[in-house]
Structure 1
Amino acid sequence: MGNGMNKVLPGLYVGNYRDSKDANQLAKHNITHILAIHDSAKRIHSDKHYLCVMASDSPDQNLTQYFSICNDFIHAARLREGNVLIHCLAGMSRSVTVAVAYIMSVTNLNWKEALKVVRAGRAVANPNLGFQKQLQDFEATRLAKERRRLKERYPSLALVNIDREQCSLMLNNYEELLQSRSICEGRCALGEECPTGICRSKNQNPAAHQPRSRRQSRSTRSRSEMCRSPSGTSAASTSTRPRSGPAGLRSYTGSAPPSRTSSRVDISSIGVSGNLTAPTTPQTSPPISPKRRGTVAVPLALKEDDFDL
């Protein structure tokens, strides 16, 4: 995770939080756009175009609701010959999930193949099980519609052949890396050293190295939580169900373009910075006025035409 950002497609990189702050890396790879997706995502570099998504790295965090807006941000930047960095904190789960969803949407690959493309470029890529399930569901229920939407909005074919060739190359590289044990699919045997560290949490039981009293207190706490549950089941039994999100993104915080006077959000004048937040509880307060400095109000139910990319 400390070897810097990694290229997964022409103009598309995946990295961690440290990479996003490294001005030398950003300059080396000519990064013009940054998609930050983590708990405290915010703009860091004033000369970069940002899309910030507030999301936790937990299996019940609903990332699917952000796939379309992230696809628009990435694809519009690449079509204009920009280079995009997607990052979370470790560059393993949230950022990888967004990259996989994008690759699925602009190619004919399924989610497992798209994940191999990312892993061929970034060996530590490993979305949590909840995010993998969301990618699987996205492929089964929404992918065809998202592909049609992107083709209608961005009719340019400038990236089609480039992406197809690059994905084919990355898939071949993936098989070679797998054979040479330079990469892992998360199935290393117990006690076997994992080449990428993906299997570390599976092969090493942290509880085995904890004091007996600590293990007992944790066990007691788990039983008490189960007893407090209204349904009589533990929280773990529902942890993989995606948290429901709002019908539309509630707010986009950033600097409004000077030529805009309405509440529409222009994230494509390629001078963009903002935060997308998904509150888990309904908002009872009135929407923020668009006249307030530094804030642009967004309709509760966004439409495609509300974004000019």
Structure 2
Amino acid sequence: QATTPHESEWDAGEIVPGLWVGGLSAAENEDELIRRCISSVVTVGTRLQPQVSWTSVKSQSIANKRYDIEDHPHADLLQIIPSAIRAIDKVMKGRSKKESDARTGVLVHCASGMSRSVAVCIAWLMLRCKMSLDDAHEMVKAGRPVARPNFGFMQSLRLLEERKDVRLAQDKWTRSNK
């Protein structure tokens, strides 16, 4: 499958309509954010701040929410999941309610778009689309082939799958890491 020039410049993949996952360079690419109707950018990473020079009137309304988490197996992914899911929901729920928002999207990114942002998108699919961890992971990999959440994030996602609730999974994760 051939890629267009735009696709080769865009370091992100669409997981489901409107939900994009990618690297820092995708968040810094104002033209592509506008072209793909991205209305919100979710940054997942410590000391990770997109160097954005969003100067166009269209891009001034792009919301940017940031969550500090290291890409480390002992980082507490479950702590940021509830808030990150709500940030994604703001855009995704709006897509189904208003015709004018039907084309808006959200970009979830970390430094490389391989671990932290991927884990957040997997959690969203599990909780909002009622998918298994394996199915959600496969769906994300289909849109973002470099998707590889670290071992600790995968453990957290397994707990989330078992408990079906972030608080219950977080309690178990906290007890097992003391």
**Cα deviation, residue 75, structure 1:** 1.1
Q: How does 1:219-258 map to 2 (within 5 A)?
A: none
Give aligned pairs, total: 149
CA distance in 2, matches of 1:22, 1:110: 32
Q: Alpha carbons of 1:42 and 1:117: their partners in 2 closer, same or farther (altered >3 Å)?
A: same
Q: How does 1:113-262 map to 2 (within 5 A)?
A: 113-143=135-165
Unaligned stretches of 5+ in structure 1?
Answer: 147-240, 245-309
CA distance in 2, matches of 1:67, 1:4: 23
Q: How does the TM-score come out when normalised to structure 2?
A: 0.76
Write out per-residue CA displacement over residues 107-135 of structure 1, whole angstroms, 9 at most, x where no aligned residue. 12111110000001110000011100000
Write out per-residue CA displacement over residues 41-80 of structure 1, whole angstroms, 9 at most, x where no aligned residue. 3464453112100111000000111111111111121122
Q: Which residue of 1 aligns with 2:57?
A: none
Contact 2:67 2:84 in 1 (8 A): no
| Higher CA-based Rg | 1
Q: Which residue of 2 aligns with 1:41?
A: 48
The alignment partner of 1:119 has SS state of: helix
The alignment partner of 2:136 has SS state of: helix
Match of 2:89 among 75, 94, 115: 75
Residue 66 (structure 1) aligned with residue 80 (structure 2): yes
**Cα deviation, residue 144, structure 1:** 8.4
Question: Higher relative CO (CA 8 A, sep ≥ 6), structure 1 or 2?
Answer: 2
Contact 1:4 1:25 in 2 (8 A): no
Q: Which amino acid aligns with 1:134?
A: S
CA distance in 2, matches of 1:80, 1:54: 25
Q: Alpha carbons of 1:108 and 1:88: their partners in 2 closer, same or farther (altered >3 Å)?
A: same
**Cα deviation, residue 145, structure 1:** 8.0
Q: Which amino acid aligns with 2:33?
A: L
Identity %: 26
The alignment partner of 1:7 has SS state of: strand
CA distance in 2, matches of 1:53, 1:18: 17
Q: Alpha carbons of 1:94 and 1:145: their partners in 2 closer, same or farther (altered >3 Å)?
A: closer
Contact 1:41 1:53 in 2 (8 A): no
More helix by proportion, 1 or 2? 2
Q: Which amino acid aligns with 2:84?
A: C
